[in-house]
Amino acid sequence: MEIRRDIKRDDWNKFIAASAGSQILQTWEWGEVKRSQGWEPIRLAVEDAGKIIASISILKRKLPYINKSIFYAPRGPILGDFLLEAIKKEAKKHGAIVLKIDPEIEEGNRPAIGFRVQRNQIQPRTTYFIDLTHDLDTLILSFEEKTRYNIRLAERKGVKVAELSGQAGVDVFYDIYKETAARDHFLIHPKNYYQKIIDLMGTPGMARIFIAYFDTEPIAAVINFALGKRMWYMYGASKSSHRNVMPNHALHWEIIKKAKEEGFTLYDLWGIPSNPHPNHPLYGVYRFKKGFNGRLVKFVGCLDLIYDPIFYFLFDKGLTWFKNLRSLILKGKISDSLAE
């Protein structure tokens, strides 16, 4: 076995797509999206007899004023000892104080030895999986009664769903997303971030925009990710007007139908509170997604492999303070949508 740092993009993505979970955040393109935001992607693969058998895409972020950095592998794969040792050497070269991962290891399973379970999450650790191998009649009958009613209401009201690509899709999505963020008090990236996603991930079909229309007016939109046999619901937006015609229900029902047509077998609704309650900022999101009656899945969450305990402690405390202060300034309150 040997460690490779020069795997070609297509070979890298082919391995990721065929792996368990086909993690979209481990693709070559996602690393390039994050590069545009100041991260440096570092890609390591384990090759045996000319065949990739393990890989990890690490995002490196330099820490200000000191010659240190952090490593983060979003939805990073389950790591073997051989790859872990290579990452440790890479960390020493780059002055990394920690490797952060949030793999799809379900709650109740023991994390890899040496990793510390982190309370603060980067990616949501709880989701609903909708099994798309069932026929459409079985699927819709499995939904909660209110969800079925809202899907049919949207159909009666004439809500139409269409896929819109490129700059036009980003423009429509972002206009609605800005309104959603202002209404629901959450922070979003600048428009060029979503444009970069579509520029880099749209052509290979990894990122797709779906729009719900009412009387030709776009009233709701989502950006979905797709890889292998899996589709993810990543970003959603809706206007305050015409919410009574249930465009979000129409969107996801049409996406489910299209995903089945194209051979996808799993629809990941992505993020819900791990312990939902009526005062949680994402309780409405939880209620909406729960209506599709997918399988509730909880992962172990963010895991830290610490390389430099002193700087790690200072970084961990400083990051918590910074996030709280940023939330207080921008939203008028200290809140964390991923809080347990």
Give me the pLDDT at residue 138, please.
Answer: 97
Give me the pLDDT at residue 322, please.
Answer: 45
Res. 110 pLDDT band, cuts 50 70 90: confident
Give me the pLDDT at residue 82, please.
Answer: 82
Work out the average pLDDT over 101-106: 93
Residue 80 has pLDDT above 90, yes or no: no
**Better-predicted residue by pLDDT, 317 or 130:** 130
- The listed CATH number (3.40.50.1220, 3.40.50.720, 3.40.190.10, 3.40.630.30) that belongs to domain 2-122+299-331: 3.40.630.30
Work out the average pLDDT over 207-225: 98
Among 187, 220, 228, which residue's Cα sits nearest to residue 288?
220
Q: Strand 266-268 to strand 230-238: parallel, antiparallel, or no bridges (unpaired)?
A: parallel
Residue 286 has pLDDT above 80, yes or no: yes
Residue 215 has pLDDT above 80, yes or no: yes
Indicate if 134-264 has the same CATH topology as 2-122+299-331: yes
217-227 β-sheet, strand order: 160-163, 207-214, 217-227, 230-238, 266-268, 126-131, 295-298
Give me the pLDDT at residue 78, please.
Answer: 58
The DSSP string of 217-269 is EEEEEEEEEEETTEEEEEEEEE-STTGGG-HHHHHHHHHHHHHHHTT--EEE-
Which residues, listed in sequence order, are joined to residue 60 by a DSSP beta bridge? 40, 71
What is the residue extent of each domain of the chain? Answer: 2-122+299-331, 134-264
CATH topology of domain 134-264: Aminopeptidase (3.40.630)
